[in-house]
Structure 1
Amino acid sequence: MSLADGMLWIGGFDPVALSDLQRIDADRLVFGRKGVDGWRLGFDEEPPGPILWQLPAGARYGGAIDRVGLWWAVGIAMVVSALVLLGAITGLDLLARAIPYAWEQKLGDAISGDFGAQACRTAGGQKALDDLARRLSPSDRPIRIGVVNIPVVNAVALPGGRILIFQGLIEKARSPDEVAGVLAHEIGHVENRHVMVALLRRFGLGLLIGSGGTAAEYGQALLDARYSRAAESEADAFSVKQLLQAGISPAATAGFFRRMSKEEAGMGGPLVYLASHPSSDERRRRFEAAAKAGTAFRPALSPPQWAALRSICAGTNPLGDIDLRF
């Protein structure tokens, strides 16, 4: 038996091309010949290495896996899965940016309508908020802000540039500069389309055709939403940038997060880092570092404007003891 030019020569028989052989037993050296029924070639003893290495290998997992090997195939599958997942996440971001802003505004109006009973509005307080939003917003798209009488220290960005500030946050803030830092953060979510990405991830394409849920369900989803740490950091970076451009000191926002970090201390320390939001202490350091000494800053609101905002919910009833987390 010998091997030459891709042909297997067996004494007393016509030569056989190696490409015509196929392994028919994964455990024994038994081969068939393509296109020739009943043709068999077996070995009682293992042939010499130069011949053995060029004989077809036995099929165990399927053609493609057998050609590259099991562990190589597993590795390739893991890489492909990661790329598919990355593509899905990136695809949501691209889809969110392709949605017409006018459509987003209608959705935001529908969601904010569910808070109508808790809406707070006075002429002076609303004007103060609108003036502040114009200072902090970099685009021509209108940012529409409202205050709702909910005793929770937070704010939420809705589709279409709608932002709701909870009265609990205004009461907790010690200056309008602290409110400005949080507001700029929420505008960052709007500008980067994080809100639509969160809704698309939760409700899928049904959101776009009206079959994904109701306005109330969308609103609750945003209240419950946990943006990725990357999205939260992106919104914080946006906030710092806009505060500096507006001449508002980020130091006040750093102080706000310093107080929040003390409250988080009772949550178990390291458990805070498992949440999707960056810890308040981490955020404090970012805003603190941006408040450069020697820079000329001016207040986010004048004292009369701040007083008007603080009293914007006077005469309305708070929502009460609720669990609104985000």
Structure 2
Amino acid sequence: MTALHKYQRLEASGLWRPTPDAQRTEVVVSIGDATLVISDMRDQPLAHWSIPAVERANPGRRPAIYHPDGDPGETLEFSENEREMVAAIEKLRTAVDRRRPHPGRLRLVTFLVSMAAVVTLLLFWLPGAMRAHAVSVVPDVKRAEIGQALLDIMQRITGPACNDTNGVAALAQLAARLPASEGPGRIMVVRGGVDEATHLPGGTILINRALVEDHEEPDVAAGYIVVERLRAARRDPLDTLLAHNGFWASFQLLTTGALDPDILQSYAQRLLTGANQPLPDDVVLDGFRAWSVRSTPYAFAVDISGETTLGLIEADPFANGTPEPVLNDANWVRLQGICGG
């Protein structure tokens, strides 16, 4: 202990009592090799106390009284005049205490580290894990119910879906031509509210009437439908809904099998006002190839100049050939009148 060297020549007088019933004896106290040496006035050693085992009986009070650890009956008292010796003993005791293991502190640190790990787990792993589990176990029927509930909310803004009889029949032909991965999937044309196209849990796609009324060929509407099919395949629409509303939405769906109206309202608002993230060109082109739809009409509808969609124009999978028509002319005309003109 390096602090010992500073005090090894230090001596002080004190009153020593070996037992509670003994008389106090005046002694000389010096600091030895990690010990307090207690000697009588003839310099004969009476006791050696190990400094690591020295305890103070009255911390912060005067006169300072010490005893060996575990034996409070043997005491050593220093008068007010021996402040230097008391300061030295206190400094050595502090140095020893710093080097001792502190099980309580270790337990506290271990507990805090464990709690931090648990909190980190709850904040970063559990929400994603719970959402993924919810997405994997919710059946198609429940997805369709959630999609219909969203549609009911959105129709307060979009108005009811266009339903001219001839147009609805043509729209069914279009849905059959561009099926979802699991069945035809429902396509609906709305008068407003939706910015071009969006998709719902359960396979429903909503398209703005402008996609069928403002273009000369059905390939444009077909292109938007294909892109929504790709978005739904790339990320489950239910996963997007739950991620938008956070941990509570996943927890509620798993525990109750339903979602609060406020959760649905928030996501419906996002679908009506949020901009869709563009998909990579290679993903889009693969989709157009799979559904046998030309990409050029869609590319010019997205950007009339073609500058930002040049990749879709130059790599059109049917640039040199004509795929199966999306709709024949008669059905295309009927579809254009689905909203009643």
Q: Check whether TM > 0.5.
A: yes
Superposed CA RMSD in Å reads: 4.9
Mapping 1:82-101, distance limit 5 Å: 84-85=123-124, 87-89=126-128, 91-101=130-140
Q: Structure 1 residue 138: deviation in Å?
A: 4.9
Identity within the alignment, %: 23
The alignment covers a number of residue pairs equal to: 260
Shift of residue 143, structure 1, vs aligned partner? 0.4
Supply the distance in 2 between the matched residues of 1:214 and 1:83 (Cα, whole angstroms).
Answer: 24
Is the counterpart of residue 186 in structure 1 residue 228 in structure 2?
Answer: yes
2:300 equivalent in structure 1: 255
Counterpart in 2 of 1:221?
269
Change beyond 3 A, Cα 1:62–1:35: farther
Which of 178, 182, 207 in structure 2 is aligned with 1:140? Answer: 182
Unaligned runs of 5+ in 2: 3-32, 36-47, 54-67, 73-85
CA drift of 1:44 comes to 5.9
- CA distance 1:42–1:191, shift in 2 (3 Å): same
C-alpha deviation, 1:244, in angstroms: 0.6
| Cα contact 1:156–1:164 (8 A) shared by 2 | yes
Q: In the alignment, does 2:327 pair up with 1:301?
A: yes
Give runs of aligned pairs for residues 1-326 of structure 1, distance below 5 A.
Answer: 1=1, 10-11=34-35, 12-14=48-50, 42-43=90-91, 63-64=108-109, 81=120, 84-85=123-124, 87-89=126-128, 91-113=130-152, 115=155, 118-150=160-192, 153-192=195-234, 194-200=236-242, 201-202=244-245, 204=249, 205-206=251-252, 209-210=257-258, 212-213=260-261, 217=265, 220-224=268-272, 226=274, 229=277, 233=279, 239-259=284-304, 281=308, 284-285=309-310, 287-288=312-313, 290-292=315-317, 295-298=320-323, 299-314=325-340
Structure 1 pair 257/228, CA: closer, same or farther in 2 (3 Å)? closer
TM-score relative to the length of structure 2: 0.57
Q: Larger radius of gyration, structure 1 or 2?
A: 2
Q: Distance in 1 between matches of 2:194 and 2:240?
A: 21
| Letter matched to residue 101 of structure 1 | D
* Greater displacement, 105-114 / 172-181: 105-114
1:223-278, CA deviations, whole angstroms, 9 ceiling, x for partnerless residues?
3464784xx537x765432311122121222112213999xxxxxxxxxxxxxxxx
Evaluate the alpha carbon distance shift between residue 224 and residue 168 of structure 1 in structure 2; reply closer, same or farther with a 3 A threshold: same
Q: Please give the alpha-carbon distance, in whole angstroms, between the structure 2 residues aligned to 1:182 and 1:150.
A: 16
- Structure 1 residues without counterparts, runs of 5 or longer: 3-8, 18-32, 263-280, 316-326
